[in-house]
Structure 1
Amino acid sequence: MPGKVVTQAEWLQARRDLLIREKVLQKSHDAVHSTLRDFPMIKVENNYTFTSASGPVTLSSLFHNRKQLIIYHFMLSPTQTAGCTGCSFFADNLPSNLSHLNSRDTTFVLVSRAPIEKIEEFKKRMRWEYEWVSSYDTNFNADFGVLIEPGGQYNYEVVNSKGDRPGLSVFFKDGEEVFHTYSTYARGLDGLLGTHKLLDITPLGRQDDEMGDWKLHDEYDDEDLKNNVGDKEGLTYLRAALHYFFRD
């Protein structure tokens, strides 16, 4: 039993007390995000060229005549045939319909280092419709902090590991000029995970000790969807990897 059983009056008092804390947290959240309205930005001098399913596309063209562009740095390297489980979990939590985002002058695109053929194959497998381009053979991932070498930086701190990392970057376009306005990594991505937000309001919460049980959505079987899964081969690795990528 997650919590103790109480009377209706006791529950109501506890809920009112929690609501006070929730409102304080929400106001703090709003205040932090309000600083992004006039946050400093950096002009992007390199008009990176990516590869889409229909051919070359530039960073500027990814805006699709809108003012804002959000890019998710999806971990799918040239040597992989399937995407990162954590990044796939992120993609599954995106809105299935981006019309609301588009109506606010904003475009959303996934970018990975894998060649476009591998991206298209995995995208088809996952049945995603999001725009997804390849940064293969460009410096884009390294320039925006998601391809690192030992001694490099990830999430604005020096790290001793190397390889691909998840992240999200925001760009603004004024005329023909493109500006980098914001990037977030690791736990900074957590606020975009609707599944986590729904689980946060349940008695059992996220059940973080079983975080490795997240799978590619076509790998769940009937047993997985009925109850918690016990340890299986590979789950220890997944837990460690997801904890590393989405830690503070």
Structure 2
Amino acid sequence: MTTHTIGTREEWLAARLKLLQAEKEHTQRGDELAQLRQGLPWVRVDNDYRFDTEEGEAALADLFQGRSQLLVYHFMFGPDYEAGCPSCSAIADGFNGVTTHLANHDVMLWAVSRAPLAKLLGFRKRMGWSFPWASSGGSDFNFDFNVSFTEEQERTKGVDYNFQHTPKFEWRSGGNAVERAFATMAGTDVPTYHRDRPGMSAFIREGGAIYHTYSTYSRGVDGIWGMYPWLDRAPKGRNEAEGPWWRHHDRYGARQVSA
């Protein structure tokens, strides 16, 4: 017997119409936030960042591939990982279908990680992905955009992530259950896993110069996580009371069907 509220179709419709108004306000607020993002001042990028790509060494300008706009997903895949972060992998599962549309709307989408290119492409093949992926392991790109940190920073100086400073990372060699599970799926230990973080950054090329226009981190990437909008409309929602449940899409075992 369900414990959820049961009602008539008329009661459902009345509640749905009330919710519809709230949804419209949420959509309008989302439009306003998009305008605020686009209104941020641009910051010129003068560093000569270099990346490893399937076509060889590339500069940041090369990643635009003739478009004026570039979106970078900072994919958690450090040099000592054996596989990509399961959360970043779940987000990246939605990239294949949008890259073509973005490219034909003057926007290039790339994933960028610090792991060697061979590891990235091997994992991409395993996952069945095709979006472009570059290694930034030979440059300070990840460090300058606050998604990678050294062990010394974590242990002593603290890190700047998600627009706030953590004076000293809480060093836990074993981590909690979720951290241990995710680190294990990435083929590394918890401290090493934490030296790379998720995020996305936007750039524009205009007048021969490149500008950084936007970055977001942590839960700021929820909006590009394709499964979340679906789950938010499912009867049980994200249903994460016991913590994250996802894994690499080729590592789900047989699931018991609910009665």
Query: Is TM more than 0.5 here?
Result: yes
Q: Where does the alignment leave 5 or more consecutive residues of structure 1 unmatched?
A: 228-248
Structure 2 matches for 1:12-161, cutoff 5 A? 12-148=13-149, 149-150=153-154, 151-159=158-166, 160-161=168-169
Aligned length: 227
Conserved in 1, the CA contact under 8 Å of 2:63 and 2:70? yes
Q: 1:153-172 CA distances to partner (integer Å, 9 max, x unpaired)?
A: 10000123261101100000
Conserved in 2, the CA contact under 8 Å of 1:2 and 1:203? no
Conserved in 2, the CA contact under 8 Å of 1:2 and 1:204? no
**How far off is 1:8 after superposition?**
1.1
CA distance in 1, matches of 2:98, 2:113: 21
SS of the aligned residue for 1:222 comes to coil
Match for residue 246 of structure 2? 214
Match for residue 177 of structure 1? 209
**How far off is 1:211 after superposition?**
4.4
SS of the aligned residue for 1:46 comes to coil
**How far off is 1:94 after superposition?**
2.5
Conserved in 2, the CA contact under 8 Å of 1:113 and 1:141? yes
Larger RCO, structure (CA 8 Å, separation 6 or more): 2
Conserved in 1, the CA contact under 8 Å of 2:113 and 2:137? yes
Question: Which amino acid letter does the alignment assign opposite residue 123 of structure 1?
Answer: R
Q: 1:57-83 CA distances to partner (integer Å, 9 max, x unpaired)?
A: 110010001000000011111111101
Pair 1:188 & 2:220 matched: yes
CA distance in 1, matches of 2:162, 2:81: 24
**How far off is 1:209 after superposition?**
2.2
Any runs of at least 4 consecutive aligned residues in structure 1 with deviations exceeding 6 A, and if so which? none
- Superposed CA RMSD in Å reads 1.7
CA distance in 2, matches of 1:121, 1:103: 27
**How far off is 1:54 after superposition?**
2.8
Q: TM-score by structure 2 length?
A: 0.83
CA distance in 2, matches of 1:122, 1:210: 28
Q: 1:196-219 CA distances to partner (integer Å, 9 max, x unpaired)?
A: 101101110011125432010111
Percent of aligned positions that are identical: 39
SS of the aligned residue for 1:164 comes to coil
Match for residue 197 of structure 1? 229
**How far off is 1:98 after superposition?**
1.9
CA distance in 1, matches of 2:14, 2:118: 57
Q: 1:106-146 CA distances to partner (integer Å, 9 max, x unpaired)?
A: 00000000011111111111111010010112101000010
CA distance in 2, matches of 1:104, 1:96: 14
CA distance in 2, matches of 1:143, 1:136: 12
Q: TM-score by structure 1 length?
A: 0.87
Q: Where does the alignment leave 5 or more consecutive residues of structure 2 unmatched?
A: 170-193
